[in-house]
C-alpha cells in the first residue's frame, strides 16, 4: 500500500542526555517536520550497519509517554524502526549516514583552491561523497567510518551499507541507483546480468560528480559569451535548498 505525503523541510540538532543516557534529535524553530527523536546508544549501534534499531518520538522531550507512531490494539508498542518510511525515518537516514561516511567531527577541504576555509561536515548540507571515508579532509581524520562500506564505495556500484543510495546520490553517474528516466522519457527495460563465481563481472561504472568547475586557464574563468536565447539560471537560497550562502555574505 502506498501512502502519499507532502514534502516538508526538516532541521534538527543532535544532543546527548547524560542523565538518561540517550541521544535526542531535536527540531529547530524553522523545521516544518516536528517531533523529538530519542535513541539509545545500543539502538544507535543497531542502526549504523543495518536498520534494526528503534527510536521513540516525543511531542516534547519532557513528556512522560512517547507518541505511538504505529501502535495498534494488538501491538501497543511505542517504538518505531529507524528505517520507517516516514518523515522521521528520513531524518534518521541522514543521521546514520554521517556515521557510515565518517562526516562527524571532520572538516572537508574544498576542491576549489580559492576556498581556504574548511567545510564543516557536522552540518549535513555540506555533505558530499567527495569527503566520504576520510577523503579530501583537512585537520584530523574522522573518529569513525564504516570500513566495510568503503570497500563497496570504492570498488562497486552496489549497496555496501543501509543507505548507500543516499550516500552516493550526488554522483552524476555510478552508485547503486538504477536509472528509470533518461533523455526525457521513462526507461522501458532494465537488464540484470548474473555472473558465476568463475566469471569476471563487467559493467562497472566509475562514479563521477559535477560539484566543481575548474578554471579554464588554471587561475581564472573565461568571460562567458552572451547568448540572447532567453535562458536564465535561478539560485534559490531558501530554507530546504542544497545551496546556502556563506556566513560572511552581506
Where are the domains positioned within the chain?
12-100, 106-186
Contacts of 29 (CB under 8 A, 6+ apart): none
Inter-residue contact 127 to 244 (CB < 8 Å): no
1: pLDDT strictly greater than 50: no
pTM for the structure as a whole: 0.79
| Structure confidence by residue, pLDDT tens digits, 64-89 | 888 888 766 666 678 899 999 899 99
Q: Residues with Cβ < 8 Å from 55, sequence gap 6 or more? A: 37, 38, 39, 43, 79, 80, 82, 88, 92
Dist. CA 87–CA 82, nearest whole Å: 11
- In tens, the pLDDT along 184-227 reads 888 888 888 888 989 988 888 899 988 888 877 777 777 777 77
Residue 115's Cβ-side half-sphere holds a number of Cα atoms within 13 Å equal to 12
Cβ atoms within 10 A of the Cβ of 144, count? 14
Beta bridge partners of 181: 186
Per-residue pLDDT averaged across 118-125, rounded?
92
Q: How many CB atoms lie within 10 A of CB 48?
A: 20
As a whole number of Å, the CA-based R_g of the chain is 21
Amino acid at each position: 500500500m502506498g501512502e502519499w505525503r507532502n514534502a516538508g523541510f526538516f532541521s534538527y540538532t543532535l544532543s546527548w542526555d547524560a542523565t538518561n543516557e540517550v541521544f535526542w534529535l531535536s527540531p529547530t524553530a524553522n523545521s516544518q517536520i516536528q517531533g523529538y527523536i530519542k535513541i539509545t546508544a545500543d539502538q544507535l549501534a543497531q542502526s549504523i550497519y543495518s536498520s534494526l534499531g528503534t527510536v521513540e518520538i516525543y511531542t516534547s522531550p519532557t513528556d512522560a509517554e512517547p507518541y505511538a507512531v504505529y501502535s495498534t490494539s494488538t501491538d501497543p508498542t511505542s517504538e518505531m524502526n529507524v528505517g520507517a518510511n516516514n518523515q522521521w525515518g528520513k531524518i534518521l537516514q541522514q543521521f546514520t549516514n554521517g556515521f557510515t561516511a565518517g562526516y562527524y567531527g571532520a572538516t572537508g577541504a574544498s576542491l576549489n583552491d580559492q576556498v581556504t576555509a574548511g567545510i564543516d561536515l557536522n552540518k549535513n548540507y555540506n555533505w558530499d561523497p567527495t569527503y566520504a571515508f576520510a577523503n579530501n579532509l583537512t585537520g584530523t581524520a574522522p573518529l569513525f567510518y564504516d570500513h566495510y562500506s568503503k570497500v563497496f564505495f570504492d570498488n562497486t556500484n552496489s549497496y555496501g551499507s543501509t543507505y548507500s543510495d543516499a550516500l552516493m546520490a550526488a554522483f552524476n553517474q555510478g552508485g547503486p541507483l538504477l536509472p528509470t528516466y533518461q533523455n526525457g522519457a521513462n526507461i522501458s527495460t532494465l537488464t540484470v546480468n548474473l555472473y558465476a563465481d568463475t566469471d569476471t563481472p563487467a559493467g562497472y561504472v566509475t562514479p563521477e560528480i559535477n560539484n566543481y568547475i575548474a578554471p579554464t586557464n588554471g587561475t581564472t574563468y573565461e568571460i562567458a559569451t552572451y547568448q540572447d536565447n532567453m535562458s536564465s539560471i535561478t539560485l534559490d537560497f531558501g530554507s530546504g535548498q542544497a545551496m546556502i550562502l556563506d556566513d560572511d555574505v552581506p
